[in-house]
Amino acid sequence: MAVFDINKYRQMFLEEAEDIFEIIDNILLEAEDAGDMDNETINSLFRSVHTLKGNSASVELAKFAALAHELEFFMDKLRNGQLSFEESMASLLIDGVDTLKHILELELSDELEHDYFMTTKKELLYKLDNFSQDIKEIELLNEHSSVEESKVQMEKEIFVQEIVEIPAFGMLFPRESNAYGAVNGGAIDDSEDEGFGFFDELELVDDNGFGFFGDTEIIDEEGFGFFGEPELVEDEGFGFFEEPELIDDEGFGFFDEPKIIEYKKVQAPLTEEKKEIEVKDNEAKDGKKFKVDSVSNSIRVDLSKIDGLMNNIGELVIAHSMLTQYTFMMQDQKIKSELSERLDLLDRYIRELQESVMSVRMIPMETVFSKFPKVIRDTAKKLNKKIDFRHYGDNVEIDKAMIEGLTDPLTHIVRNAMDHGIESVDRRKAAGKSETGTLIMSAEQANGQMIIKIQDDGGGINLAKVTEKAIQNGILDESQAAQMSKDDKAMLIFAPGLSTAEAVTDISGRGVGMDVVMSNIKKLGGVVKVETEEGFGSTFTIVLPLTLAILDGLNIRVGKEQFILPLSAIIETLKPEEEMIKQIGDEESEVLMLRNEFIPVIRLHTTFNITPENHKLSDGLLIVVRSGAKKIALFVDEFMNQQQFVIKPLDKNFRNAQGIGGATVRGDGTIGLIIDTMNITQNSTRRAS
């Protein structure tokens, strides 16, 4: 797999862009309807365009990016309140976005002429600048669209002619026939449109292209066989497409000739292609060719369907444990043991089913990482910096649903690290560092959580400058700033609109990136932290929950309440001797002296506000658990059985509670709370200060 196959990345970008365009369109259409737009909407609109701009630049769609930049600039003004939203703005923006789409198509098919681009851009700018002059603008709008149409038309015509002149090239065959087919249909314009659409796809298609075009050998054979006898080609071509009933039949006289076997392969995609064209012909000519064809052996399934499946399995697990619990109460030993045996079998099948459904959702982190070498290379070139990118944990699997929300924040962090973090070659030399900066991305799964780190060895964050800027922007006042710890100050970079960069570049500096990072990670239910050392670089740590995971847990009892502790977090359990318990300072700060370690003890009764059964640690039990990089010992009254639990979010209907990572439905239908060891530590350390 070539690392820098631009088409693969363009394909990815296009899929994303499709979604983003959809979002933008919806926002704008709504705004047009309502005649108003609130700040939140403007912000999300701005972010969408920002993402489009950034991503398109990284797949070398410079013109598209330039245009998106103009739109972004305009929206920035809206966002800052330099302009206030007016009703007619929505339609202007919708038109602007349409122009953007149009340019994208042209640029992708390499058909974007410089002059045309310049006029389009100028017109757009003109409209944006003269916004207040409504009437003038509408006139211009109409004019513009007609100009645009005729211009495109012309280009397309030229294009078609060119192709007809060199018919010996196999690849052109289907295109030509498209044109013919549509000509027969009597819609010349559309056929030409299709021609363009078709080539768009061809450029983008990578692995999941049409079987036909993917296989060059066949194409060649096909092309030559076909065009070797030009007269016949034309006759047959017409004959074929003039008879629509044959098409539906899928048995074209022409292709059925058995002497060239490969044709059979050709048949199916061609028919599809043809059908699609027919459908499109019937559609209004809105020029929407924004479709990526994917004829491959994988299917795109809506994640909500898989979620539904997971939920069903979850219910199955619950029903199973209800049955198991019921079996325990049986009197007849013979029936009991036989039933248990069968239940065990059922249990195994359910687990297998669970695993296969989970595996549908899980994909290796490599898919995420593989996006970055290209981004980094380009950005490094642009910034004239030398950067060595390394990534670890390629095989760590991550939920597909997470990836979609993760790519944006990761890209922003990487861009920021490169632009602001890693210094220029000269500065690095001056600081006594090696010329090449290092950027490390790693992924690991620990404690039922996904931990992703992005580490650079750059100059770190200038905390003083960040704080100063935050005060300037009114995010906090000076007395607040004085009280803040170093880590808290570093977190300020996630505040909206905060950028310490002097100039706005197309890589970063507008101060949107980092608040996108924060909001996206939060949306995934995760946390992002930053540690920075001036002169030595910064590390961003993203901790994501594995929300979907079905977890193996241990039931523990604290007072009269029962909780569930994730097995993955448990290191060991013990009944402590009195001399193992030491105190630091007051009575409440107990530590467990275990072999060569001192482990802080947390009484769960205190954390959860429950009347304890045992007061002395040596009367109860201690569970040593992992909490991030540290170890803590939890004091409980009893531990009970071990079981599988389906994690359900607590904050879907309610909110998150301290020390609680989620909930589950127990065998008896009640809710059990799952302890989050990471969260518990945070609380008690806060208490200590």
Q: Which of these ranges, 278-286, 465-473, 489-497, 649-657, lies near other proteins under the rule CB under 8 A?
A: 649-657
Measured in whole angstroms, the distance separating CA 494 from the mean position of its chain's CA atoms is 19
**H or E element, residue 665:** strand 660-665
Q: Which of these ranges, 395-403, 457-465, 602-610, 631-639, lies near other proteins under the rule CB under 8 A?
A: 602-610
Q: Which two tokens stand for residue 145?
A: 């669209």
Taking residue 543's Cβ as centre, other Cβ atoms within 10 Å add up to: 19
Distance CA 194, CA 293 (A): 13
CB of 661 to other proteins, least distance (A): 12
CB-nearer residue toward other proteins: 262 or 561: 561
Among 288, 320, 557, 648, binds other proteins (CB under 8 A): 648
Burial class (CB in 10 A: 0-12, 13-18, 19+), 228: exposed
Site for other proteins contains 611 (CB under 8 A): no
List helix spans (H) across 166-187.
Answer: 173-185
CB-nearer residue toward other proteins: 334 or 655: 655
CB-CB contact of 348 with 381 (8 Å): no
DSSP designation for 435? S
3-state DSSP assignment of residue 532: strand
CB of 481 to other proteins, least distance (A): 24
List helix spans (H) across 588-637.
Answer: 604-608
Site for other proteins contains 649 (CB under 8 A): yes
- 647 phi, psi to nearest 5 deg: -75, 130
CB-nearer residue toward other proteins: 136 or 687: 687
CB-nearer residue toward other proteins: 171 or 657: 657
Q: What is the DSSP string of 557-573?
A: EETTEEEEEEGGGEEEE
CB-nearer residue toward other proteins: 214 or 612: 612
DSSP designation for 254? T
Q: Which of these ranges, 73-81, 95-103, 435-443, 658-666, lies near other proteins under the rule CB under 8 A?
A: 658-666
CB of 126 to other proteins, least distance (A): 39
CB-nearer residue toward other proteins: 175 or 605: 605
CB of 432 to other proteins, least distance (A): 49
Among 462, 581, 610, 626, binds other proteins (CB under 8 A): 610
Among 258, 472, 669, 686, binds other proteins (CB under 8 A): 669
Side chain identity at residue 132, one-letter code = S
CB-CB contact of 7 with 206 (8 Å): yes
Using CB under 8 A as the binding rule, the residues of this chain from 315 to 344 that contact other proteins are 315
Ordered strands of the 621-627 beta sheet = 570-574, 621-627, 630-636, 597-603, 590-594, 581-583
Burial class (CB in 10 A: 0-12, 13-18, 19+), 119: middle
Site for other proteins contains 307 (CB under 8 A): no
Q: Which of these ranges, 15-23, 264-272, 572-580, 663-671, lies near other proteins under the rule CB under 8 A?
A: 663-671
DSSP designation for 447? T
Q: Which of these ranges, 251-259, 397-405, 622-630, 644-652, lies near other proteins under the rule CB under 8 A?
A: 644-652
CB of 582 to other proteins, least distance (A): 23
Burial class (CB in 10 A: 0-12, 13-18, 19+), 587: exposed
Burial class (CB in 10 A: 0-12, 13-18, 19+), 152: buried
CB of 588 to other proteins, least distance (A): 10
CB-nearer residue toward other proteins: 84 or 670: 670
Site for other proteins contains 657 (CB under 8 A): yes
CB-nearer residue toward other proteins: 300 or 615: 615
CB-nearer residue toward other proteins: 179 or 663: 663
Number of residues that bind other proteins (CB under 8 A): 27
- Sign of the Cα pseudo-torsion (531, 533, 535, 536, in order): negative
Side chain identity at residue 254, one-letter code = F
Q: Which of these ranges, 155-163, 373-381, 471-479, 665-673, lies near other proteins under the rule CB under 8 A?
A: 665-673
CB of 495 to other proteins, least distance (A): 20
Q: Strands 527-533, 621-627: parallel, antiparallel or unpaired by DSSP?
A: unpaired
Among 209, 545, 566, 659, binds other proteins (CB under 8 A): 659
CB-CB contact of 465 with 586 (8 Å): no
Bridge partners of 398?
363
Q: Which two tokens stand for residue 82?
A: 């330099």
- Residues in the chain, overall count: 689
Among 75, 92, 625, 663, binds other proteins (CB under 8 A): 663
CB-nearer residue toward other proteins: 602 or 665: 665
CB of 527 to other proteins, least distance (A): 18
Site for other proteins contains 309 (CB under 8 A): no
Among 314, 421, 537, 576, binds other proteins (CB under 8 A): 314
Taking residue 474's Cβ as centre, other Cβ atoms within 10 Å add up to: 7
Among 407, 665, 677, 681, binds other proteins (CB under 8 A): 665
CB-nearer residue toward other proteins: 259 or 655: 655
Measured in whole angstroms, the distance separating CA 473 from the mean position of its chain's CA atoms is 30
Site for other proteins contains 671 (CB under 8 A): yes
CB of 324 to other proteins, least distance (A): 17
CB-nearer residue toward other proteins: 318 or 454: 318
Site for other proteins contains 670 (CB under 8 A): yes
Q: Strands 527-533, 570-574: parallel, antiparallel or unpaired by DSSP?
A: unpaired
Binding mask 544-563 for other proteins (x = CB under 8 A): -----------------x--
CB of 547 to other proteins, least distance (A): 13
Q: Which of these ranges, 89-97, 286-294, 310-318, 324-332, lies near other proteins under the rule CB under 8 A?
A: 310-318
Q: Which of these ranges, 11-19, 342-350, 456-464, 656-664, lies near other proteins under the rule CB under 8 A?
A: 656-664
DSSP designation for 165? H
CB-nearer residue toward other proteins: 596 or 653: 653
Core vs surface per residue 34-44: b (16+ CB within 10 A) or e: eeebeeebbbe
Q: Which two tokens stand for residue 31?
A: 């705004």
Helix H, strand E, coil C: the string for 182-219 is HHHHCCHHHHHHHHHHHHHHHHHCCCCCCHHHHCHHHH
| Interface with other proteins (CB under 8 A) | 311, 314-315, 561, 607-610, 648-650, 652-655, 657-660, 663, 665, 668-673
